[in-house]
Structure 1
Amino acid sequence: MIFKAEQLYWNAGEKNQLKLDWKRFSKSLLNASPNGIAALDMTLKIMISNQLAQTGLDLFPGAMLSTTLPDLSKHAQQVLKADKAAEGIIINRNNVRYSVLLNPIRHRNAMLGIFCIFQDMTALEKITSQMQSFQDLSMELDTIIDSSNDGLWICDGEGTILRLNPASEYLTHVKSDEVLGRNISELVAEGLIDQSVTLEVLKTQKKVSILQQTRHGKILFLTGNPVFDSNGNLFRVVVNERDITEIKSLQEELEEKVALNNQYRQDLLEMQIEEMESRQIIAKTPEYINIIQQAVKLGTVDSTVLILGESGTGKGVVADLIHKYSPRKNHPMIKLNCGSIPESLVESELFGYEKGAFTGAGKGGKPGKFEMAHKGIIFLDEIAELPLSSQVKLLRFLEDGQITRVGGTVSQKVDVRIVAATNRNLKKMVARKQFRSDLFYRLNVIPLTMLPLRKRRDCILPLINHFTDQFCRRYGKKRVMFSREAMSAMLEHPYPGNVREMINICERVVVMSQDGHVNLEDLPASVREGVAKGPLGGEVWHPGQTLKERMDALEKEILEKALKFHGTQAKMAHSLGLNQSTVARKLKKHLLK
């Protein structure tokens, strides 16, 4: 057989020599043939090859045939010399047997190269065997297929239509004799169908479902199922068609209601955020209000949250807030402090244990925290203290949602959202190999960093009022009144223990106060020390200084502390209740920058 070069696309080049437009030729060749194809020039250099030739035979453009397939190169040399096609050449490559056709490429009696076709003989033999098996089952399958109320299309592994049943003819108004033996892509090109689930299955080799509207207005739900042979090769695509025209109408109504519901949820979220903004009794600092807003928003999604911050900053309170505004709010929120459990019991606490799993295990076994939190949220506080061995189990759960009890062999799926918290720097722990990096990235989907109390000074006074009133109600006392010195000490205290420390201080002053009055001496020593000394470490009053000198020194110290804390004149002015120009003038006066 002679391959006529006139059938290809040619361009005239310099010196009237014809050059093959390999790009156009490659595209046509790759789209047309199920076999491996390659084109060689007169030096047996590979000019073009399709995917089958590249993956199965290692024939890549630019390579020499003599290097890749030396045995075949000898046959190609003979074809060049004899100017005659050679067929039926058998070669073995990568444990696959191919039948090769070498065909001269000619143009106006001039030989330009060789056109090679590689047919996979092994695949051909398998297909023949499969077709025989199909014929044996065809009579039984005919009855099953033709009796189905759903439309059925059956295509081969290349998209060629092998069969469609009467129900499909009725639904699509496409007759069998019009399409059998044709490729599904042709029907799409001709507009007989607007899209093809078969082509998607051939592309992805996975089950695919789509909606398709016929030319007659029917809405069909199509599901394409790939069928693989014993070697894992896709050799059939079975498409099921179901008429859902009425269901589609109901679905559109449902989607409208869902959209309306989502709008209501968004409106509710905005109202919740406005409510948080209005609660300036506790959350007055803008940065902290923003954290509260984020927590409310995070409640509406189902992602893993990692809460970071120092001890006592309210990480547990934020976790409660996420649960409160979560769709899981009607299901349990199970809290577990990872640092309070002995290492030997961590896994049994998290995942439970079966009967006789270890010495002292309960006779009936016991569910773990994850099982108890099914459909809800589990709050893993101090996650950094989790042993490395348990981190592996937690990572596995995050990947597949399944747990296995200690001593058990059967995995079970649980639906749990994880909120974790820590006061440690997990990135540094990862660098020191103290915490698994893969678990860190799994947990760190949405990080939320809490502010220490020293960075939300605007909240201190409202918090003091809130907690003292709370404890007054608890202990049946009238509202306490702080002296100027006591309140000044409370406001200036750095609170290294954050809100937890403030709660303890407020409870103490309520319990220890006399007649509802709190003086400086009623405060803990750690709080009094902050005001016991005046500027520059000296006493508040010194006989060697005038009042003006002491006031100037005190003003300078206040400005120094405010500048160090806030960093900018604008924030200093807001905190001190002064105009920014006044702050700038005083800084200049005391030679502060």
Structure 2
Amino acid sequence: MNPLIQNKLKPIFTVSRELEQEEFLKRITDHHGHYLFLEKHNEIYAYVDINNLAIKKWDSKEIRMKDILSKAVLIENTGVFESNQLVSIPFIFQVLGEPIVLVKDDNGNFTGYISREDMLVSMFREENTNTNLLKVLLASIPMGIFVVDHKHKIVNCNESGLKMIRSESEKIIGTRAETIFNQDHLKQVFSTGKTILNQIHITNDMGVIVDYSPIENSDGDVDGVIIIIQDLPMVESMAMEIETVKNLNQDLNAILSSIYDELLVVDSEGVLIRHSENYIKDFWKVNLKELVGESLLDLEERGFFSPSVARLVLEKKEKISIVQETENGKKILAIGNPIFNDRGILQRVVIASRDITENTKLKSELKQTKEITKRYKQELANLKNKTGTSQDIIYCSSKMQKIVNQIKKISSFSSTVLIQGDSGVGKELIARAIHTESTRSEKPFLTINCGSIPENLLESELFGYVKGSFTGADEKGKKGYFEQANGGVLFLDEIGEMPMSLQVKLLRVLQENEVVPIGSVKPISINVQIVAATNQSLEKMIDRGVFREDLYYRINVIPIHVPPLRDRPEDIPLLAYHTIQKLNQRYDKNYHFSPDSLNLLEGYSWPGNIRELQNLIERLFVSADDQVITADLVVQFMNSGTVKRSKPMITGIIPLHEAKWEVEKQLIMLAMRKHRTTTKAAEVLGISQSAVSRKYKRILQQNGE
């Protein structure tokens, strides 16, 4: 067997899928490898890439055996290398298809596995390998590949790689790899022999994801590096997002520097990870920049200061205000605020400090400290929401965040929920989120549209029937939706369309927690959480006598109102991006929106809400000639009547100053949605940053945000 394959061979860790869940999980608890191999009838039949499971700890209570098995890859689709096997192009392509290759000994038994990259290196280093094999292989790989020798010079590459870095073979071959790729990463691979994966590399000429893998000689020394690159999708979009974060960071630093003498950000271990440009020089014995990465808890023990506000916050997990005294007698007011993640775990401590030795306005300063720290915490939360949205509910607006928070709050209860909102806002998605977050998530989630089924059939569908209850009935009888959803959640969509006669029966089910099938007199106990939804005003229906008031109060225990898309325009770009990505995946395309086209979508009122937005995006997707969906294409659909554009209209005489303020509001909101910061908005509007900040704050107050 090739010595390189022998040296790179990793052991196979197996577990039988025939074990019970508890025994199965116990078996894999101490496994630390990247792959888990599954046995059935004492034979290996599949493997699981542990990195795809998103599991932090094997002993987590959230791990389920079925989730692990669902990620299994059959080994019949995986390359198998046998002793003394000859290299062929079909085998190489089979190797490229999976991340690993299984290895058999002379007796045909599995002895271990090797990574795809190590297998390719070993094959190319065989003396009898045809040189044309490498050329054919490199030309056929969709990823970019660059081969670097021990002198750090690029000695080979493929066309895909040249296209991604926008260069030519004559300019690249013989060039030092550091002139194109990251010098530190190359140096690390050559010095340590370790692979570096998924490194984002962006320059003026390219935007790629780079993997660096060492090429080792027979002595185990690094003899070169294989660099594999892939196009980085949506580079322009990511660059704009990075620019937005940078601008926001600059704004925060400017605000904080004007109010505090010093601001520190500490992690959950007490390590200083960031500080403001301004800091109290008399308080620290060295330049504060030199202490980044140091533990403030250790500095306290070494006598830098006492007591440590960071330590007190970490211990008590609450806001702490203390006065520290320096060696020269100065008094420093330090306020530490804990920042928690969604699971309630303390993640950061923000410490704001001020020299109050000669400060006679302590009370006023404390008030400012509280306000700015609260704003800092809110800004961090806003950034987190933008990058960590719910997997199913796509949003970034504060209005939808409130709904998501409400869903999490009611997840431990089984109270009846009434979801109200216009057609197309995603009421069923909210209902499914309630089921997913609840303790009933492992039980059924059933949905029935009360307005799409005739009255006589709706009764049998909901309550079921027994044998012989009516002509045409199934001889075995039938369980209704209430029985089928027992233990889980039943979603009654368009409940306003339910006939009055069935409203009475539904009321009894909610009151008694039991259902009586058609043709039976024997009640059946059920345990079902009811989630109802409607796009109508049930209060007005009660006034008209078409909906029971007592039923309304029974279902309206937890009301959730989903706002229409026109009331949360900041969600439109995110929804548009999500929709276009789903279409790209379905049809293997790479379409995306230009910034101007997104601005047009944000300016429309969307009476059909998310459903209308998705339909328009699919029409744009099908009609687009280029990968970039431009504002001109969106305008064509708007002008053709496919979409009615929202335009400001004057329908009556109003005072001129009011009309002027309405125009200002629209311009400022459009500028803030596009550029995200008051600095950029002021630049495009041609007014001062302070004017934008003042007016934007007034607009938010008027909107109740």
The TM tier, using the shorter chain, reads 0.3 to 0.5
Instruction: Give the TM-score taking structure 2 as reference length.
Output: 0.38
Query: Which one scores higher on RCO, CA 8 angstroms, separation ≥ 6?
Result: 1
Q: Which has the larger radius of gyration?
A: 1
By percentage of residues, which structure has more helix?
A: 1
Instruction: Give the TM-score taking structure 1 as reference length.
Output: 0.45
